[in-house]
Amino acid sequence: MTLDKQNAARIDQESLFHPFTSVADHLRDGPLVISEGSGVRVKDIRGQEYLDGMAGLWCVNLGYGRKEISDAIAAQSRKLSFFHAFNSMSTDVAIECADALLARAPVPMARVFFGVSGSDANETQLKLIWYYNNLLGRPRKKKIISRWNAYHGSGIATASLTGLPGMHTLFDLPLGPVLHLTAPHHYRQAPAGMTELQFSQHLAKELESVIEREGADTIAAFFAEPVMGAGGVIVPPATYFDRIQPILKKYEILFVVDEVICAFARTGNMFGAQTFNLQPDIMTLAKALSAGYQPISANLITNKLYEVLVAQSDKLGIFGHGYTYSAHPVPAAVALETLKIYEERDIVGKVRQVAPRMQAGIRSYADHPLIGDARGIGLIGAVELVRDKATKQSFDPKAGVAAYLVRRAQHHGAILRNMPGDNVAFCPPLIISEAEIDEMMGCFGKALDDTWAMVKERGLA
Ligand SMILES: Cc1ncc(COP(=O)(O)O)c(C=O)c1O
């Protein structure tokens, strides 16, 4: 079979089982088959170009087709295409990469454990936390606190941490030891009339009362994304983390900061932890660690955990965990090159320069009758579409209003992403220019007009 622009969609429908895709919709509508990318743009197999307003899946921070990175892949594949890190084996490039990450971490970190994806990295975090408490002789301290709307991955344990009911219901999840708290989503979750500051206080009280109800001796860790991504791009209310962190310290609960989307300049600092003044005990990195060019993730752990491993693991048993491709030399070489580019091109400075344009663009639609909320920080943002602005009433999810908007944006030349609750996300490559931001927002504006016309025509509002 030779694939061409005529048969690609059909062969996809007959062969590929897609993640997070409605099988019925896919068989009806078919795929968008992307076959090339350069800068902030991708091209489909028919030659149609799109501005990628989602950096792939929140990861292509440096844009497509960077020669320095493809050269790094080729050079490392020729030099050493694979070696592993089990049983004290190592590679020069994995060592360099771990050292480079420790040198750049937002708080002092002791060691780096490599994996392949954000999901497997968070799975590692969980096992590490349980192992740590077993080494410390605290077998009851195992429950994990997460939040509704969180996204921490799609494995059995990480989908349990994730706070999206659609990832639980048909999979018999969540697993027992996960507790979900209210999402720090002022627009949706704050009781009427409550300010951001009061809402943060309210959420801190909720945390403390759950700890007291369950017993601090049963709670091991609190997982949080600095800005929730896939759950709707939710920027926490002012002082939220300032109030949460002392409570975690007080009850000896580890703070796991999931930086899978926020790290590498997305929020206007190298790490989300810097934007929100966080002191993680453990951090999860993935996605933009390689700018999406190769699969790689990293768990950064502080000395607080590492010294317990040093003292106890010989006596009680090794950390029997890892993946064939943990510390794979090719993605490690890519991560090193990517870190170099972030710094040499001052990507943080670049984000700070253009982010106000995108944030103003998003908020310029706030008065539109379909937009309930418009929010974001740095080069990540979202709008929430509502049926009734005054009451914040949502559309029937079956109407697929945000999905329609995203299809129309694609028609007008920009790839955006709809998420549960009729949210539409913006997360472009960080190399985007102001003119390209205007172009992306223009495509969104046209799609919003089309959606408004559709909503009126079908009597949905
Ligand atoms: C915050 C966060 N954590 C974890 C993950 C899971 O990463 P992966 O899809 O690489 O398994 C994601 C993916 O979007 C994420 O956004």
- Model confidence over 189-232: pLDDT tens digits? 999 999 999 999 999 999 999 999 999 999 999 999 999 999 99
Please report the pLDDT score of residue 314 as a whole number: 84
Indicate the top mutation candidate among 119, 122, 228 to test ligand 1's pocket, ranked by most ligand atoms within 8 A of CB: 119
pLDDT band at 25 (very low <50, low <70, confident <90, very high): very high
Q: Is the pLDDT of residue 24 over 90?
A: yes
Residue range 281-292: average pLDDT? 98
299 lines ligand 1 (CB under 6 A): no
Is the pLDDT score of 452 beyond 90? yes
Answering whether pTM is above 0.95, one says: yes
- pLDDT above 90 (res 313): no
* Residue 314 CA, ligand 1 centroid: distance in Å: 32
Task: Identify whether the C-beta of residue 451 lies closer than 8 Å to the C-beta of residue 405.
Answer: yes
Residue with CA nearest ligand 1 atom 3: 152
CB of residue 204 inside a 6 A radius of ligand 1: no
Which pLDDT value is given to residue 176?
80
**Does 428 score more than 80 pLDDT?**
yes
Question: Distance (Å, rounded) from C-alpha 37 to C-alpha 40?
Answer: 8
Determine if ligand 1 sits within 6 Å of the CB of residue 125. no
How much is the mean pLDDT over the chain? 97
Confidence of residue 296 (pLDDT cuts 50, 70, 90): very high
Query: Mean pLDDT throughout 292-309?
Result: 97
Measured in Å, residue 406 CA sits from the centre of ligand 1 at: 21
Q: How far is the CA of 389 from the centre of ligand 1 (A)?
A: 31
* Ligand 1 contacts CB of residue 233 (under 6 A): no
* The pLDDT of residue 315: 84
Question: Which pLDDT band, with edges at 50, 70 and 90, does 123 fall under?
Answer: very high
Q: What is the pLDDT of residues 94-109, one digit of tens each?
A: 999 999 999 999 999 9
Give the number of the atom of ligand 1 that is nearest the alpha carbon of residue 258. 1
- Ligand 1 neighbour 153 (Cβ under 6 A): yes
Average pLDDT over residues 125-137: 96
119 lines ligand 1 (CB under 6 A): yes
| Confidence at 1, pLDDT banded by 50, 70, 90 | confident
What pLDDT shows up at residue 213? 98
CB 419 within 8 A of CB 402: yes
Which carries the bigger pLDDT value, residue 175 or residue 71? 71
Q: Which amino acid is at 136?
A: L
